[in-house]
Amino acid sequence: MKRRDLLAWLLALGMPLARGQAADGLPRIGYLATTSPGTDAPRIEALRRGLRDLGYEENKSIVIVYRYAEGRLERLDALAADLLRERVRLIVTGGTPGIQAARRATRTIPIVMASSADPIGSGFIASFARPGGNVTGATSINMELAHKRLEMIREILPGAARVAFLAHGGDPAHHAFLQQTEQASGRFGMQVVPVIVRSVAEAERALGSKGKFDALIVQPIFSSHYREVAALALKKQLPSFSDLKEYAEAGGLVSYGPPIGDSYYAAASYVDRILKGAKPADLPVTQPRRFETIVNLRTAKALDIEIPRTVVLRADQVIE
């Protein structure tokens, strides 16, 4: 009897399949996103590309079960629990809230971080070399870029003295993001003012109540609402900066950070090794090897800001 026929027979008898095994015998992996399918498209395509390069073809040799929080972080726990009910072999997720939700759901099923700003500080892993537990994957080390962001603000806006940091109150990592930025700000003679909110509407009210700012830093967790945040910054005539390319493309002034697609592509190799029997505890966490600068000259023109030629020349992408 062929394997596929045997599985169909077992199902007909009401006999359970092994965890992570679809009715057609394909391994099932869960994909948990804080964002929406549209916003997340470049990330999932990078993961799929990585899987294809390793010989996996979706729905032919592997099944991916998708769950999207649509920017509503409070939904993540229920979505993670739903993935467990789907009996996935492992969960791929990115960002501190997504990883936390997956860990609350299980401490035994492997979790692959497609990106994580501070996996050690967040308690996800013991060390980069020996993660321990059921979590491994890639880190974006976004918080270590705090100095570079402020350096770029100083280069573009020499007179900047008061900078707002838009942080998401629903993401526990915002405390560390703020701490790193505040520690680095002293070297540049800047005051960093936390603006901690849970929605774009809250952000508009908060920014309007805290006085005048010279620039705005946007925490990457707002990726589901980048267009609204960029539009808000433009409305308030605030030059805005973030880590992710999507923010500059959505109308932010500048982004600087590791290409997010790189870590999602790298996540595929963890999926492959875990499906072949490797334990997450033994798979070292990878860190980004390259960083990119995106400059939006359309936004600069709208803000009446002249971007220094040195910044434009070293940019990886210039939006005109």
Q: Residue 14 — very low, low, confident or very high, per pLDDT cuts 50/70/90?
A: very low
Residue 198 and residue 59 share a domain: no
Given this model, what pLDDT does residue 24 score?
Answer: 67
Domain annotation covers residue 228: yes
Q: Which residues span the domain enclosing 50?
A: 3-141+259-282
Given this model, what pLDDT does residue 143 score?
Answer: 63
Residue 206 and residue 167 share a domain: yes
Q: Is the pLDDT of residue 132 over 80?
A: yes
Among 148, 153, 182, CA closest to 165 = 182
**For 275-286, what is the mean pLDDT?**
97
Neighbour count for residue 200 (Cβ, 10 Å): 18
Task: Tally the domains of the chain.
Answer: 2
Domain annotation covers residue 185: yes
Domain annotation covers residue 287: no
**For 232-240, what is the mean pLDDT?**
96
Classify burial at 165, counting beta carbons within 10 Å of its beta carbon; exposed 0-12, middle 13-18, buried 19 or more: buried
CA atoms within 13 A on the CB side of 69: 30
Given this model, what pLDDT does residue 118 score?
Answer: 86
CATH of the domain at 246: 3.40.50.2300
Residue 110 and residue 178 share a domain: no
Residue 198 and residue 92 share a domain: no
Q: Is the pLDDT of residue 264 over 50?
A: yes
Given this model, what pLDDT does residue 140 score?
Answer: 79
Residue 243 and residue 224 share a domain: yes
* Span 175-185, pLDDT tens digits: 888 888 999 99
**For 116-134, what is the mean pLDDT?**
93
* Span 191-231, pLDDT tens digits: 999 999 999 999 999 998 888 999 999 998 887 788 999 99
* Span 72-105, pLDDT tens digits: 999 999 999 999 999 999 999 999 999 999 999 9
Task: Sort residue 5 into left (φ over 0), alpha (ψ -120 to 50) or beta.
Answer: alpha
Given this model, what pLDDT does residue 51 score?
Answer: 98
Average pLDDT, the chain: 90
Distance separating alpha carbons of residues 266 and 268, to the nearest angstrom: 5
Given this model, what pLDDT does residue 176 score?
Answer: 83
Given this model, what pLDDT does residue 5 score?
Answer: 47
246's CB contacts (< 8 A; 6+ apart) are 39, 42, 223, 226, 255, 260
String of b and e for 208-235 (b: at least 16 CB within 10 Å)? eeeeebbbbbbbbbbbbbbbbbbebbbe
Residue 299 and residue 253 share a domain: yes
